[in-house]
Amino acid sequence: MSDNWTKTAAAMVAAGPIPMPVTETLLELLQTIMDEEEAGFIHIFTKPSLNMEEIKERCDLDDISLNAMLDGLLHKGAIMVTTSRSTGIDVYTLMPPFPGLFELTMVRGETGEKEKKLAVLFEKLFEELAQMIQANYDNVIEVFKTVPPITRVVPVECEVDMKQDSVMPYENAQKIVDKFDTFAVSYCYCRHHKDLLGKPCQTTDQKVNCLTFGRSARFMIDYQFGKEISREETKRILKECEEVGLVHKFFHEKNDLERNEFAICNCCKCCCGTFELYYRGAAPMTTYTSYRARTDEELCNGCEVCVDMCPMEAIELVDDVARINDEKCIGCGVCAYHCSSDAMTLERTGIREVFVPPPRLG
């Protein structure tokens, strides 16, 4: 394999938060998505994001060729572009393999031979990552501890312990939606990936429920990664996701909680990347949250619905009462939303970071 592709892969890995090796699988994956000239162009991204002036300083393409190059890579999901709120300047950002390239190659819901091949390659890449983690478990987990979470769990609408302060808008999915004017919906890339592998979701038949907001939504719409919808439709989709037990995971600009949210995944345990990588031993479960589940022992009837639905397997039945493992609880509210006896509530903790190491396998 040429040094050109190796440098491209290294640049894309460096652009993301998850450390991973440059393997033959990753190189083949990139070759399936782009051509050699596009791969060479990506070398200019010596930092993850560049504006047009910086891009022109780093390459020798004329304006027509440069625009064609950028347009091709944008449509392929190798880079994305958003307009800076503070300067009004377009900023081009290189996509890492995950999260980034995986999502944008799966999010259109396409089912051609190329997409089927990519699905197999991503599956192989995730398995290689799991093997690497398991083989170097102690050292790699220490590295993961230094990587900030890339998601924030916002609970589904459910009973919150009234002894706590009222729910803040920052912690309510429906009110977060009200901050924005532009919305896009796309295929759930994780469920579509599983469909392409012949492993359909065991939690829901809903496939088109990944949501983006604001500037990111405009990118998704302009480059046909999703379709524009109304605020009301966005809220309806969120409610449908809550009904089937999906977890709201928000993404913030530059992984900074002080910045706006730009997307939400509605996650299931069996398909969605962060949960799946955790269970296959490839990555820790790490996220921000502001809540923790609590059980009223007097009300709990031992029905085990919460045990079955908890995406983190953080609840077990002991003497016919649901017991919660506080270290694994991500405060998603799925248990409280679906508790028929009202025994489960959410206690507000304030923003906290959950870090659960992946299981040791074998």
The answer to whether the beta carbons of residues 219 and 75 sit under 8 Å apart is no
Cα(245)–Cα(306) distance, integer angstroms: 10
pLDDT at 208: 96
CATH architecture label of 3-140? Orthogonal Bundle (1.10)
**For residue 176, which amino acid is it?**
I
Q: Smallest Cα–Cα separation from 351: which of 154, 150, 142?
A: 154
Which tokens in the block code for residue 82? 């958003």
- State the pTM of this model: 0.91
Q: Which ranges of 59-169 does DSSP label H, i.e. alpha helix?
A: 63-76, 102-106, 113-135, 137-144
Q: Look at residue 158 and tell me whether its pLDDT is greater than 70.
A: no
Domain range summary for the chain, segments of one domain joined by +: 3-140, 148-356
Q: What is the pLDDT of residues 220-257, one digit of tens each?
A: 999 999 999 999 999 999 999 999 999 999 999 888 89
Tell me the two tokens of residue 66.
Answer: 């440069």
Nearest-angstrom CA–CA distance, 259 and 261:
7
pLDDT tens for 300-353 read 999 999 999 999 999 999 999 999 999 999 999 999 999 999 999 999 999 999
Q: Is the pLDDT of residue 164 over 70?
A: no
pLDDT of residue 170: 65
Cα 361 → chain centroid: 24
What is the pLDDT of the chain when averaged over all its residues?
Answer: 92
Residue-wise pLDDT tens digits, 42-75 = 999 999 999 999 999 999 999 999 999 999 999 9
Amino acid at 13: V
Do 273 and 280 touch, CB atoms closer than 8 A? Answer: no
Q: Has residue 163 got a pLDDT over 50? A: no
Residue 85 pLDDT: 77
Strands (E), the chain: 49-51, 79-83, 90-94, 152-154, 183-186, 210-213, 227-229, 247-252, 261-267, 285-295, 315-318, 321-324, 344-356
